[in-house]
Amino acid sequence: MGDPDATLRFPHRHILGIAGLARDEIAFLLDLADSYVDQNRRADKKNAVLRGRTLINLFFEDSTRTRTSFELAGKRLGADVINMSVATSAVKKGETLIDTAMTLNAMHLDVLVVRHAASGAVHLLADKVDCAVVNAGDGSHEHPTQALLDALTIRRRKGGLEGLLVAICGDILHSRVARSNMLLLQTMGARVRVVAPATLLPAAIGRYGVEVHHDMRTGLADADIVMMLRLQLERMNGSFLPSIREYFRFFGLDYAKLGVAKPDALIMHPGPINRGVEIDSELADDINRSVIREQVEMGVAVRMACLDALMRNAPSNAGG
Amino acid sequence: MASEGRRTAYVNARLLDPASGLDRAGALLVEGKRIVDLGPGLFADGVPGGVALVDCGGACLAPGLIDLRVQLREPGEEHKETIESGCAAAAAGGVTSMVCLPNTSPPIDDVSVVEFIARRAREVGTVKVFAYGAATQGCRGEQIAEMGILAEAGAVAFTDGVRAIANAQVMRRALAYAKTFGLLIVQHAEEPALATSGVMNEGEIATRLGLAGITPAAEAILLERDMRLVALTGARYHAAHVATAEGVAVIRAAKARGLPVTADTAPPYFLLNDTAVGDYRSFARLSPPLRSEDDRKAVEAGLLDRTIDCIASDHAPQDQDAKRLPFAQAEPGAVGLETLLALALSLVHNRRAGLLDVLRLLSLRPAEIMGFPAGRLAPGAPADLVLFDPARPWRIEPERFRSKSKNSPFDRHPTQGRVLRTVVDGATVYSAGADATRG
């Protein structure tokens, strides 16, 4: 970990999105994360890379798993971790996002992990705070650590990302996971397809350079990776989709639809799963096909790598 | 029903096929449910044994009519029409396939209703009945319907029937969702905010009668909006019963731009104008309303220059109770299945169009729009045929209709063109009598 070139290899103050990350920077994060996978499997899972550092998880949107993952990542690197959720924050009392940033600055923290329902809210905070910021998901914009953990999962299973065919299926329109993954996977040389009803695709999806499919039979054909997205239940009230049963019939992943993918195709899902909505329950639990639990494990390692990389760039004497 | 492989020769016919442009005296051979051969020289040396013979007596033999806009009222309003009475009316009108609107009770927004209609049509066993699925749940214009599952069950296209899909966001999503499955959306193009309070065309007659008018702009406004949404989504769109000059112009411009748009109209809109309302004749209350003479002429011109692709009956049965009311309280709509051919042929008799042009509007184009294999006389095509005498005069007498409802604005109109025989899948489902058919 005492890499003298680290600052050069990852010259960023924040991780706000996959957009702006170069291929070798992503590879650097994935390599670093690989080493943390090994560390996390040992009995002694801690090191002291972030000793003395303060990390705040600032979640304006509920998320047990992502918040826990960042909390574990911080603690295993020796940082002091504090969770602030919206329910207890001053936001409820009318404090603006900028006010929150000013308050946090006064606390001299080192890393701020932010989730917010509004696209761009994390960028706004990053402009105003003195510390490093990691985007833990902002609106429908980006969720960079999810894309990184997906990439790490795929890379460890398939040996690399170059040339793989990845089908991302479901609610692309509202998905920050899809946006970050489309960027990351293509940067790393994978081919990306999106499969969704036209009502769940953003208007300019063609500008992402991905193949667009409306039919799982063509969209999954010969895919190496089938990445399912979580469908928010409020999308199913008839404005975007007519019903759950129709969605599952045409866009829910089951063994029949998976049949056209490669025989060793892996199934991924950012969680939590809506069983029987976007994925067949049995298939989600099929240890030969589904790597959903592995994604959770990779999540902690990837977040450790992100925190580590950012702190190598941070001033060693905060405020100095 | 035709038994399997049974052969029937239709001889001494004037063969009319709008797809190939064929208009020659000749014969046609049906085997089982399909046309196997036809032409001027067929059976020149006589009809072989074992083949049933129908002597057409020189009458016209053409593809059966395909009617894209029919309300059969079953389930829910069987006192106005049933699938059985509607099929009988269709057969008498030379209609061999029809597509019924989803505004039944319950509406056709559930697979079980699609299957119910298919089962009833199968039991009746005459005319082919296809169903539109509701574009939105309950045809309420709020939430898109299960178009994928409904299409799998047999729904051929999607519409909210007599109601416009008014909300632009809902329409956009309906189009985008239909595009997902390659499905067609059919619109009753009338802006409801302008139309719901009115009962007839806005103009001098409405003014003098003291009736609330509907501006003709109600049609053009919704069509203009829809053309933009079609351009946005790339979905296929069909404008039903176009009735105004401005509406025709919008469709014409959209087609010139290459948008995937088609349109139909119904006989009242190219044969009548708002003077037909006369002294509050509720049978002339239609939706959309009968428009001005200029509009009527523009609709006719749209048919002739192929801006409007086809003629549908817009069959809307209403019982006496629904029509014997003050004009504004009467239900809109007119029956049309049994008068469709004769009224369309008035374009021929008025020397506006050729016989093949009119048949193209009645069979070929509707079949193409719906993707039906019928609508043409060709080997391999379904033996769905109409035999008719284009010149025979008759008077429209609704009391003789097979339809349960008699609400025709053409009541007592003299007309020309009589259906002599209707054949569906090789089986005769209607015959006007023995005079023109022997064997």
Structure confidence by residue, pLDDT tens digits, B46-72: 889 899 999 999 999 999 999 999 999
3-state secondary structure of A26: helix
Mutate to test the interface with A, among B139, B143, B167, B169 (most CBs of A within 10 A): B143
Burial of A179 (0-12, 13-18, 19+ CB in 10 A): buried
**B242 & B339 share domain:** yes
**A199–B180 CB contact, under 8 Å:** yes
d(CA B238, CA B309): 10
**B180–A197 CB contact, under 8 Å:** yes
Whether the per-residue pLDDT at A170 is higher than 80: the answer is yes
- Angstroms from A189 CA to nearest CA on chain B: 28
> Nearest residue of A to residue B149 by CA position?
A246
In this structure, is residue B268 part of a structural domain? yes
- Angstroms from B143 CA to nearest CA on chain A: 4
Q: Which of B137, B145, B177 sits opposite A197 (nearest CB)?
A: B177
**B146–A246 CB contact, under 8 Å:** yes
**B144–A245 CB contact, under 8 Å:** no
Against a cut of 0.90, is the pTM above it?
Answer: yes
Mark which residues 113-172 of A lie under 8 Å from B by CB. Answer: none
Structure confidence by residue, pLDDT tens digits, B359-382: 999 999 999 999 999 999 999 999
d(CA B53, CA B371): 31
Strands (E), chain A: 54-59, 80-85, 111-116, 132-138, 165-169, 191-195, 211-213, 225-228, 266-268
> Which residues of B form the catalytic set?
314
The answer to whether residue B135 neighbours chain A at the CB level (below 8 Å) is no
| Dihedral sign computed on CA atoms, order B7, B12, B16, B20 | positive
**B54 & B70 share domain:** no
Cα torsion B150, B155, B159, B160 to 10°: value is: -60
The answer to whether residue B212 neighbours chain A at the CB level (below 8 Å) is no
- Angstroms from A17 CA to nearest CA on chain B: 30
The answer to whether residue A234 neighbours chain B at the CB level (below 8 Å) is no
**B144–A198 CB contact, under 8 Å:** no
Ordered strands of the A225-228 beta sheet: A211-213, A191-195, A165-169, A225-228, A266-268
| Chain B residue numbers touching A214 (CB-CB < 8 A) | 179-181
pLDDT of res. A88: 55
Structure confidence by residue, pLDDT tens digits, B19-29: 999 999 999 99
| Chain B residue numbers touching A199 (CB-CB < 8 A) | 144, 173, 176-177, 180
pLDDT of res. A92: 60
> Nearest residue of A to residue B148 by CA position?
A246
pLDDT of res. A6: 61
**A214–B180 CB contact, under 8 Å:** yes
Give Cα A252 to chain centroid, integer Å.
22
Whole-number mean pLDDT of chain B? 96
Q: Which of A199, A237, A245 sits opposite B177 (nearest CB)?
A: A199
Q: What is the pLDDT confidence band of residue A89, given thresholds at 50, 70 and 90?
A: low
**B145–A242 CB contact, under 8 Å:** yes
User: Given the structure tokens 């007309």, which residue do they identify?
Assistant: B415
In this structure, is residue B285 part of a structural domain? yes
- Angstroms from B237 CA to nearest CA on chain A: 16
Whether the per-residue pLDDT at B41 is higher than 70: the answer is yes
**B47 & B69 share domain:** no
Highest mean pLDDT among A80-89, A219-228, A285-294: A219-228
**B118 & B136 share domain:** yes
User: Is A90 or B119 the better-scoring residue by pLDDT?
Assistant: B119
Structure confidence by residue, pLDDT tens digits, B184-213: 999 999 999 999 999 999 999 999 999 999
pLDDT of res. A9: 84
Q: Which helix (H) or strand (E) holds A19?
A: none
Q: What is the pLDDT confidence band of residue A4, given thresholds at 50, 70 and 90?
A: low
| Chain A residue numbers touching B149 (CB-CB < 8 A) | 245-246, 249
d(CA B53, CA B47): 8
**pLDDT cut 70: percent of chain A above it:** 91
d(CA A241, CA A156): 36
- Angstroms from A201 CA to nearest CA on chain B: 10
| Chain A residue numbers touching B169 (CB-CB < 8 A) | 239
- Angstroms from B181 CA to nearest CA on chain A: 7
**B225 & B276 share domain:** yes
* Pairs of residues, one from chain A and one from chain B, whose beta carbons lie less than 8 Å apart: 49
The CATH number that applies at residue B347 is 3.20.20.140
Residue pair B110/B437 in contact by the 8 Å Cβ criterion:
no
- Angstroms from A203 CA to nearest CA on chain B: 9
3-state secondary structure of B343: helix
| Crossing angle of the two packed helices A64-76 and A292-313, in degrees rounded to 10 | 50
pLDDT of res. B237: 98
- Comparing A84-88, B102-106, B433-437, the range with the smallest average pLDDT is B433-437
In total, how many domains does chain B have? 2
| Crossing angle of the two packed helices B83-92 and B111-124, in degrees rounded to 10 | 50
**B54 & B84 share domain:** no
Residue pair B361/B343 in contact by the 8 Å Cβ criterion:
no
Give the count of alpha carbons within 13 A of B305, CB side only. Answer: 13
Whether the per-residue pLDDT at B321 is higher than 90: the answer is yes
| Chain A residue numbers touching B179 (CB-CB < 8 A) | 198, 214
d(CA A261, CA A278): 17
pLDDT of res. A85: 76
**B180–A241 CB contact, under 8 Å:** no
| Chain A residue numbers touching B144 (CB-CB < 8 A) | 199, 238-239, 241-242
In this structure, is residue B401 part of a structural domain? no
pLDDT of res. A97: 83
N-term to C-term CA, chain A: 24
- Angstroms from B370 CA to nearest CA on chain A: 21
The average pLDDT across A209-225 equals 97
**B193 & B106 share domain:** yes
Provide the ipTM.
0.87
In this structure, is residue B406 part of a structural domain? no
In this structure, is residue B167 part of a structural domain? yes
The answer to whether residue A197 neighbours chain B at the CB level (below 8 Å) is yes
Give the domain extent around B84: 64-370
pLDDT of res. A320: 34
Mark which residues 211-230 of A lie under 8 Å from B by CB. Answer: 214
**B285 & B419 share domain:** no
User: Is A1 or A56 the better-scoring residue by pLDDT?
Assistant: A56
d(CA B190, CA B171): 13
Whether the per-residue pLDDT at B75 is higher than 70: the answer is yes
The average pLDDT across A37-49 equals 94
The answer to whether residue B183 neighbours chain A at the CB level (below 8 Å) is no
In this structure, is residue B242 part of a structural domain? yes
Strands (E), B139-260: 157-159, 184-188, 200-201, 213-214, 236-240
Q: Which of B137, B145, B177 sits opposite A198 (nearest CB)?
A: B177
User: Is B192 or A232 the better-scoring residue by pLDDT?
Assistant: B192
**B25 & B68 share domain:** no
**B364 & B429 share domain:** no
> Nearest residue of B to residue A251 by CA position?
B148
Structure confidence by residue, pLDDT tens digits, A19-40: 999 999 999 999 999 999 999 9
> Nearest residue of A to residue B134 by CA position?
A242
Structure confidence by residue, pLDDT tens digits, A285-296: 998 999 999 999
Give Cα B176 to chain centroid, integer Å.
26
Q: What is the pLDDT confidence band of residue B438, given thresholds at 50, 70 and 90?
A: very low
Give Cα B436 to chain centroid, integer Å.
26
pLDDT of res. B437: 39
The average pLDDT across B244-256 equals 98
**B93 & B207 share domain:** yes
**B137–A238 CB contact, under 8 Å:** yes
**B136–A246 CB contact, under 8 Å:** no
pLDDT of res. B208: 95
**A197–B176 CB contact, under 8 Å:** yes
| Chain A residue numbers touching B142 (CB-CB < 8 A) | 238
Count helices and strands in chain A by DSSP H and E runs: 12, 9
d(CA B418, CA A69): 79
Cis peptide before B317 (omega within 30 of 0): no
In this structure, is residue B24 part of a structural domain? yes
Mark which residues 244-273 of A lie under 8 Å from B by CB. Answer: 245-246, 249-250
Tokens of B243: 């009735």
Whether the per-residue pLDDT at A2 is higher than 80: the answer is no
| Chain B residue numbers touching A245 (CB-CB < 8 A) | 146, 149
pLDDT of res. A3: 57
The CATH number that applies at residue B34 is 2.30.40.10
**B121 & B196 share domain:** yes
In this structure, is residue B142 part of a structural domain? yes
